[in-house]
Chain A
Amino acid sequence: MKTIFFTGKGGVGKSTLAAAAAWQLAEKGYRVLTVSLDPAHNLGDIFGIKLHHRKKKFTSELYLQETDLEKAADEYIKNNMSIMKEVYGYLKTFNMDKYFSILKYSPGIEEYAALTSLEKILTKEEGCFDYIVFDTPPTGLTLHIFALPGVTLAWIERLIKIRKEILEKRYTIHNIKGKYIPEGVQLAYQEKDDKVIQKLYELQKRYEKVKSVLEGDDNSVSVVFNPDQLSLKESERLLEGLKELGLPVSHFFNNKLTEDNLKTAESVEAKLKKDNKSSTIKRIYYNDDNLSKGYMLNDDIAGLFIEQEGK
């Protein structure tokens, strides 16, 4: 299974290109799932159907899904609140449990929600599709989502290390004081009995999965940009972020080219190319022909991703 992420500034044509790539891959007989993580959903508009939180069959090869981040965040909060309410169940007696809804405003909830959705999709759809094409939210959020598995794992590793030390000390204490410790206060001293470390291992496994997909050979990240300075600046930021995360960019799409902006396009391309010699740049011209057909059938986009298979 291959994954393709289309990234870039809002409005540069990510969704259109993602849709085109997905459509073309499906046409060639691959099983494709297209997922939009962008809150400004237009995947449904492109294909002319109404999409929901669940995946929807478009053709026998092509499935579409719009992940509603806000809804995912709500779900995430609901899930967490149920944990909190379980712990502090007594608050129900005074109807004070409603104060937990403050969690809704905690920073970064959207990112966790997106990551959780991403993780769910990757686990659930593994093996069902040849390609999963992602249309991503605006740059900042996308970078956060990409960074999150790494950050989370670093924390989990730290916590596991401390927990192991705790268990080691508890084992020493048990070993020496064993029979003098009253039943009730005996703490878990082995990894298999310690629910906390077990939970940490479980979380670690989950996020390693996401991380390995993101960093794996079967993943490719494409950057879409337009030939203008604003788009260039944002792309540069995006590239810098991706570089820090160790995610190489496989393709650039220089979208919405016209005769008039060709010069700007060339200089923008040259700048982006300088630091990313191994990636390819695909130019996509903006013309009436494209517009009338709705998606870019005459530009072979899918080919770029299939070619890689041969390598």
Chain B
Amino acid sequence: MSNKIVSKIKNFISGVEYVHRDQAVSHTLWEERELENIFTLLLMGSFSGIPAPPAFISAELIPLLTHELKIFNNRAENSFDTLAEMTGVLGID
């Protein structure tokens, strides 16, 4: 019984800790993701008509960018729907 309570308390504390740690990096996470998106966007520049690096750099890197491409894809999907997201990221009440 007392063990159960102790483990519950432990769970609660680690939950609180998690939220705090998450909160402390929420903006960094966002920035990191945007940087990854920009990185991919630069490599994909020739698709969107912005100045792009020589195509072979992209060709060399793309096989290594599975994670970044996933983000790139999601961002492209949501790029016209950012007002609510920015409100959430900035936590405006």
Seen from chain A, the residues whose Cβ lies within 8 Å of a Cβ on chain B are 76, 80, 83-84, 86-87, 106, 108-109, 112, 148, 151-152, 155-156, 158-159, 162-163, 165-166, 169-170, 172-173, 176-177, 180, 187, 195-196, 199-200, 203
Contact = CB atoms under 8 A, between A and B. Distances in A.
B25 interface: yes
Choose among A106, A112, A169, A177 the residue with the greatest number of B CB atoms under 10 Å from its CB. A169
B28 interface: yes
A180 B67 CA distance: 19
Interface string B1-38: 00000000000000000100110110011011001101
A195 B67 CA distance: 12
B35 A165 contact: yes
Given A84-B62, A169-B32, 19 more contacts: A76-B56, A80-B59, A83-B60, A84-B59, A87-B62, A106-B55, A109-B55, A152-B54, A158-B42, A159-B39, A169-B28, A170-B32, A173-B28, A177-B22, A180-B21, A180-B22, A195-B64, A199-B60, A199-B64
Interface string B35-57: 11011001100000000011111
Contacts, number: 78
Contacts of A196: 61, 64-65
A169 B42 contact: no
B91 interface: no
A75 to B, nearest CB: 12
Nearest to A80: B59
Contact of A176 (B24, B35, B53): B24
B61 A199 contact: yes
Give 10 nearest A-B pairs by CB, closest first: A155-B53, A169-B32, A80-B59, A195-B64, A166-B35, A196-B64, A176-B25, A173-B25, A112-B56, A162-B39
B62 A112 contact: no
Given A84-B59, A177-B21, A166 B54 contact: no
